[in-house]
Amino acid sequence: MAVGQTDFPIMPPILGIQIGTTNAGIKQIERDDLLVFQFPETATCAAVFTQNAFCAAPVHLAKANLAHSPRWLLINSGNANAGTGKQGMIDAQQTCDDLAQLIGGKMQQVLPFSTGVIGQTLPVEKIKNALPKVVSNLVENQWEQAARAIMTTDTFPKGVSKVIVLNGENVTINGISKGAGMIQPNMATMLSFIATDAKISQSLLQQCLLAATELSFNRITVDGDTSTNDACVLMASGCSAAPEILIDSGNYNIFSAAILEVSKKLAELIVRDGEGATKLIRIVVSEAASDTEAVQVAKTIAHSPLVKTAFFASDPNWGRILAAVGRAGVIEMELEKIRIYLDNVCIVRDGGRAIDYTEEAGQIVMNQAEIIIGVKLGRGEFTQTVLTCDFSYDYVKINAEYRT
């Protein structure tokens, strides 16, 4: 069950970016579970990865291969190839080599990505046998098929598209992502792939991606769990007629703003599809002494099981929010300056419940599917927003039955 409108958008092809999908039978046979992106030699590629110490074998290999001008992404769902030791790395290398030999490239030019169950050996032969069909299906207009191929517990495919104009020429940006549980990114989301036809250097593309992920995928949480396989990739084919994007040009500002917009929308879709979610909650912490402090307070609220279950019940139990703010670790917090809101309803002021607050007003807000928690700390001028969702019965059910 997802919160709000989740229809897949119309996504135009990206010049130079080809997509192929098929079903390899990795965990199921109902839908595609294997995906390949191909981009030209003129392309540049940037990526960010999970900071989980037990990061998966494909993460290690993708990090290493990123320095070798990659031309292919190889993605599978249904198996994370994480917690698989030396065999996991051998298997990741083998699948990359299988694709490279089939398509006429080098293993080092393939970036592998996996998502699914942790601790199970990757079915290398199933992937190898399916690769010829994927390669034969490579075309420019399969974005929805790609989004579906990377799903695990997701209830809908997630995609965002945007066109900007640079020097009178169109530049297209498409992005897909997957994720519904084990979401507390520490760099990016579970998996996200963004492509553009812009011309831009690898170093500048990497800079752009780092800035975008920090304010998008690093500002969401479903359950506080950072995955072993988180990764976000930004590909630029260089096939647009627009001039190369340079750091000291206004075009870079336009482009980076568009990448951030696409990333934020993809991140929000993940929260809307949080496992068992019935509510989307925006936590806006303002008047903080720093961005770090604002995020710290917002994530303390977002990670509270008591806050999240109260929202599932539509219970205006504002004391749970107050308690979360109080334990966020803010040094020398001045309680009398703090104001806490549910949408526009002030629930806390002057160190306690706001005098004009009523349970009826709080209940009206809590009955909504989308809610804003506002926290004004009275300490400075910094503001940050974190998105999360509620905890429902279905979250427990989905994760209790994940391997069955």
Catalytic residue IDs: 189
Helix axes 202-214, 250-272, angle to 10 degrees: 40
Identify residue 114 by its one-letter amino acid code.
S
> DSSP 3-state assignment of 80?
coil
Question: Which has the closest alpha carbon to 122: 154, 158, 94, 142?
Answer: 94
HSE at residue 311, side-chain half, CA atoms within 13 A, is 28
Cα–Cα distance, 218 to 214 (Å, whole number): 5
For residue 230, with 0-12 CB atoms within 10 Å meaning exposed, 13-18 middle and 19 or more buried, which class applies? buried
The torsion angles phi and psi of 59, rounded to 5 degrees, stand at -65, -45
**Structure tokens given for 276:** 């068992």
Nearest 5°: phi and psi at 388?
A: -150, -175
Residue 384: name the closest of 278, 291, 313 by CA. Answer: 291
Residues paired with 385 in a beta bridge = 284
Q: What is the DSSP string of 356-388?
A: T--HHHHHHHHTSSEEEEEEE-SS-SEEEEEEE
User: Measured between alpha carbons, how far is residue 234 from residues 3, 102, 202, 246 in Å?
Assistant: 27, 24, 10, 17
CA distances from 344 to 179, 317, 339, 340, 364 (A): 31, 16, 11, 10, 11
CB 1 within 8 A of CB 219: no
CA angle 165, 173, 55 (to 5 degrees): 145
Write down the residue that tokens 């250097």 correspond to: 201
